[in-house]
Amino acid sequence: MASELGISIQQQEHNWLSWLVSRQAFWVFLALVVACIFLSFATNSFATPNNLFNITRNFTFVAVIALGMTIVIITGGIDLSVGSVLCLCSMILAEVMHNGYSIEVGIAAAIGTALIVGAVNGVLIAYVGMPPFVVTLAMLSFGRSLAMVASNNTVVYQFGPDHNKLLFLGGGAFLFGISNPVIYTIVLALITGFTLRWTRFGRYVFAIGGNEKAAILTGVPVRRVKLAVYMVSSLSAGIAGIIETGWLGAVTTNLGAGMELQVIAATVIGGANLAGGAGTAFGALIGSALIEVIRNSLGLLGINAFWQGAFVGAFIIVAVSFDYIRNLRQAE
């Protein structure tokens, strides 16, 4: 009896194929691959080095924030302020450098700003107990307003002595012709994926999203983890802001407007569950990439660009219905 039990416990209950097909990110990845193959044959301009360079760079700004957003969403929260935080951090970076400071000082100021904004969000949510939706909605308004105040609503396009360094940071390609933002994104995705899977912090993020009360009862430092999560989310928006500033070469106060919804869409398409408890760094990348490929391909296929939103919307429903159907089956 005991040995039988031992065998049944030791059995490898994980069949890799069944694990893979149960993942939403896998299906979206498949859709992405199919779309890319189709576009390579259907158009002359999709699989050109120039276009691929553009696509891979363009998706990074959403992807970097989607990594931070994924962590927030796994805890069952939401961060609506990321678009405004991106704008605010870009503006701080631009203003600091415009006033003659070095790029290091500018980046430090931008990152510091992101962390402070994230800490404010986090304290209000984790310690005061306000709903994340409300707190970050307020910050969405507050952050962009601050960016307008900081710049007096002007466009900043001269970044002082380190002007060219900043442009290279965001627009250059120092490794095999891969644009720099892509490299940052891959590095950040690896760090995020590692943290979620291999650290105590990552484990607690999933536990809080799964059952916050259970996490509290078992001694998980729920408040500290939540505070950190909103700081990470803001930080990701700040990093995206720095990169995007370097690429665009100019900062306006409507930078990143409405971006939060694009980021949330990417995250959800990639398999994060808005109810909390599920999500991956890989999914965040795939979701962001799919949105960018849709945007890019519509232009190449000669379809009116106004259809982009309809395609993204349809994909959200399709992607989430995979999850829904699987849950229905399990309930039976």
Query: DSSP for 153-211?
Result: T--B---GGGHHHHHHHHH---BTTB-HHHHHHHHHHHHHHHHHHHSHHHHHHHHHHH-
- Is 308 a binding residue for another protein by CB under 8 A? The answer is no
- Is 5 a binding residue for another protein by CB under 8 A? The answer is yes
Interacting residues with another protein between 254 and 283 (CB under 8 A): 277-278
- Member of 44, 50, 304, 330 binding another protein (CB under 8 A): 330
Considering beta carbons, is residue 126 or 294 the nearer one to another protein? 126
- Is 7 a binding residue for another protein by CB under 8 A? The answer is no
Closest separation in Å from C-beta 320 to another protein: 17
Residue showing tokens 């379809």:
303
Rounded Cα distance between 182 and 199, Å, is 25
Considering beta carbons, is residue 45 or 199 the nearer one to another protein? 199
Site string for another protein, 211-230 (x = CB under 8 A): x-xxx-xxxx----------
- Is 200 a binding residue for another protein by CB under 8 A? The answer is yes
- Member of 11, 15, 50, 304 binding another protein (CB under 8 A): 11
- Is 206 a binding residue for another protein by CB under 8 A? The answer is yes
Q: Which structure tokens are listed for 147? A: 């960016």
Could you give the maximum distance between any two Cα atoms of the chain, in Å? 77
Task: Give the burial string for 233-269 (b: 16+ CB within 10 Å, else e).
Answer: bbbbbbbbbbbbbbbbeebbbebbeebbebbbbbbbb
Residues at the contact surface with another protein, assessed by CB under 8 A: 2, 5-6, 8-11, 13-14, 197-200, 202-203, 206-207, 209-211, 213-215, 217-220, 277-278, 330
